[in-house]
Structure 1
Amino acid sequence: MGIPVIDLSGALVPGGPRSAEVAQQLRAAATSAGFFYIRNHGVPADVVARQFDIARELMELPLERREALSIQHSPIMRGFEALGAQTLDASARPDLKESFYCGMNWPAEHPYVQAGHQTYGPSQWPEELPHAQAICEAYIDTMNALSLRLMQLLALSLELPEDHFDAACKDPMVTLRMARYPAHPEGADERTFGAGAHTDWGAVTVLAQDAHGGLEVQMPDGSWVPATPIEGCFVVNLGDMIPRWTNGLYHSNPHRVRNLHSGGAPRYSIPFFYEPEFFARIEAVPGTVAPGEAPKYPPCTAGEHLNEMYQKTYGLKQATEQTEAA
């Protein structure tokens, strides 16, 4: 069993001639690996290449400048995250990666910004790279459109109207992360990872990875397979909100990273995390709960779910406070 490649040709707009066919392929992937590649996705290669260029520029800033823009200075976790600051697998060592997080440029008067909800608010930008903000925000806009289309295709795959999730995605919670992984240490033990085994928290993740590879995905049978980079393709995986929305029908599979194949060079990856808007209700969609049976997951809002995940990983006290204030 491997990770399927899905061609989005003819399915990039609502009502596209291949939308139903692609939706069925998504259903097959979602009920097994929860991972798939997408090709012919409409994002030009030079847009992705430019994003990798700015990722390298950001990560090559002096350490003191990165520390000055630490996510610790941002109530919504925007900015630089130091090497080893996150531990995605509680049974493993701290993750061997460093990252820069940014998001949409929400206006200060937006009610979610005013309330201080997670992901809504300003990003931190280094003065040394005045072009970084515009490049990142353009990429975010592109990924927003692609992610919404994936949500529409997922709706079709569940035999729901194509626009079923549109209202929930009006003001989405999104995070763009540019990550750098050092080479895997020689003689490292089995508890050492660039990113420990974990599932993503939100709805969909759209990943651009460099040519080195290193991402590994756990299949339903428990085996781990490499998500080998394929030129012109993104890797897409479903996050934990999708099993909640589909009553466990669709899967959010564990994955991990080990930078084993770069010849000592750092590995760069650019995941785009897409979640619905803060107050979107996450509960089993029609057709996923058998008559007379109770849903497998209690209903919640997207904000409650995301805050719970941040609190679990980072111990953020404000997560609970934000939820209670909502």
Structure 2
Amino acid sequence: MQQTALPVLDLRDLHAGGEQKQAFLSELAEAARTVGFFYVKGHQLCCLQDEVMSLGKQFFALPDAEKLSVEMKNSAHFRGYTRLQGELTQGKPDLREQFDIMGEDQAVKVADNEPQWWKLIGPNQWPQALPEMKQTLLGYQQALSDVSTALLRAFAEVLEQPATTFDEGITPPYTHMKLIRYPGSAATGERQGVGAHKDPGYLTIVTQDQQSGLEVLKDDEGWVSVPPLEGAVVINIGELLELASDGYLRATYHRVQSPAADQVRYSCAFFMAAKLDSEVPLLNLPEHLKKDALGPSADPQNPLFYQVGDNVLKGRLRSHPDVAQAHYHGFDRAC
């Protein structure tokens, strides 16, 4: 197996039960406490991964007019294509282009006095040139949801809670997936493929091609590379799981550095949160865990909200000011 700086967990151990499951839970707890990032192999995603990554390459190779026909700015639900440097992280443009989908839903009519995060619910945009994208991407999103649900139940057990602790809040979950293309950048040029950030949901799963660039911030080592590992996906903890565990589990800063000028990086990122109209449960941890719960991280530039819709919408508005200006009046300057 390739050498990595992060733990590698095998999902088959979780499903095996008995001593194998207990070993998996111990490894999961250690990974969550030390870095908040780890690899997972032994999943059932392989049959779809190649097809999804191939579709991503085909989409980004389309003429600009085709891609802009499904531009995210057209969607109050933050679905569709974002052109190169069209998304911001910490106020700076990311050197990437992407295509975002979420659940395939009917739009909700939202009154002025109702929470604006209800606007996040709605249909996706699909390019006419690639009709196969809808079935394939929605299928992969569901498969990633199944893996995330299994891991979230495992995290509940790590926290010595009933395995079903999070089930009500994720029935169904709020999911978000994006295909991403990072073009090469000269060594002297801008290297921010995506700037340092934490993810707003419960868990994130990243599918990578063969090009490295993902990095995680470790307390004792600084920025550490998270290279592609054959047969494995990368998992990281989001802010909602940090909130639920009162900081016992920590969301971790991560970023993507642009590849060299003659290289291109493709990836697929999936994010699971609870239902938008729910609140993050604040778990009553046993005393031996509670003493290591540091409380949620305090960042005045990134306030955390227990109301899930508020937390998710906060991230969307900050990242896509063009959508905020077009569809969320009053939020374009505040965020």
Change beyond 3 A, Cα 1:19–1:117: farther
Is the CA contact (8 Å cut-off) linking 2:237 and 2:250 kept in structure 1?
yes
Using the TM superposition, give the Cα deviation of residue 195 of structure 1 relative to its aligned residue in structure 2, in angstroms: 0.7
CA distance in 2 between partners of 1:80 and 1:183 (Å): 19
What do you get for the CA RMSD once the two structures are aligned?
2.8
- In the other structure, the counterpart of 2:57 is 56
CA distance in 2 between partners of 1:257 and 1:148 (Å): 26
SS of 1:31's equivalent in the other structure is: helix
Matches within 5 A, 1:153-302: 153-188=154-189, 192-221=191-220, 223-260=222-259, 264-287=262-285, 300-302=306-308
Instruction: Pick which of 251-260 and 139-148 moved more.
Output: 251-260
1:306 to 294, 305, 312: 312
Matches within 5 A, 1:72-83: 72-83=73-84
Is the CA contact (8 Å cut-off) linking 2:55 and 2:133 kept in structure 1?
yes
Change beyond 3 A, Cα 1:12–1:71: farther
Using the TM superposition, give the Cα deviation of residue 243 of structure 1 relative to its aligned residue in structure 2, in angstroms: 1.2
Is the CA contact (8 Å cut-off) linking 2:108 and 2:122 kept in structure 1?
no
Deviations 1:234-289 (A, max 9, x none): 0000111111111111111111111336x713110001111111122114211178
Is the CA contact (8 Å cut-off) linking 1:213 and 1:228 kept in structure 2?
yes
CA distance in 1 between partners of 2:109 and 2:174 (Å): 13
Is the CA contact (8 Å cut-off) linking 2:243 and 2:306 kept in structure 1?
no
Deviations 1:101-150 (A, max 9, x none): 01222256899xxx872542100001111111011111111111111111
Q: Which amino acid aligns with 1:88?
A: T
Matches within 5 A, 1:80-99: 80-90=81-91, 93-99=92-98
Change beyond 3 A, Cα 1:321–1:165: farther
CA distance in 2 between partners of 1:49 and 1:285 (Å): 38
- In the other structure, the counterpart of 2:300 is none
Using the TM superposition, give the Cα deviation of residue 170 of structure 1 relative to its aligned residue in structure 2, in angstroms: 0.4
Using the TM superposition, give the Cα deviation of residue 70 of structure 1 relative to its aligned residue in structure 2, in angstroms: 0.6
Change beyond 3 A, Cα 1:132–1:246: same
Change beyond 3 A, Cα 1:76–1:180: same
CA distance in 2 between partners of 1:319 and 1:3 (Å): 40
- In the other structure, the counterpart of 2:8 is 5
Using the TM superposition, give the Cα deviation of residue 68 of structure 1 relative to its aligned residue in structure 2, in angstroms: 1.8
Using the TM superposition, give the Cα deviation of residue 99 of structure 1 relative to its aligned residue in structure 2, in angstroms: 0.1
Q: Which amino acid aligns with 2:11?
A: L
SS of 1:300's equivalent in the other structure is: coil
CA distance in 2 between partners of 1:138 and 1:71 (Å): 21
Q: Give the TM-score normalised by the residue count of structure 2.
A: 0.85
Change beyond 3 A, Cα 1:178–1:296: closer
Aligned residues: 312
Using the TM superposition, give the Cα deviation of residue 222 of structure 1 relative to its aligned residue in structure 2, in angstroms: 5.5
Identity of matched residues, %: 25
Change beyond 3 A, Cα 1:194–1:116: closer
Q: Which amino acid aligns with 1:256?
A: R
- In the other structure, the counterpart of 1:143 is 144
SS of 1:101's equivalent in the other structure is: strand
Structure 1: unaligned runs, 5 residues or longer? none
Change beyond 3 A, Cα 1:249–1:319: farther
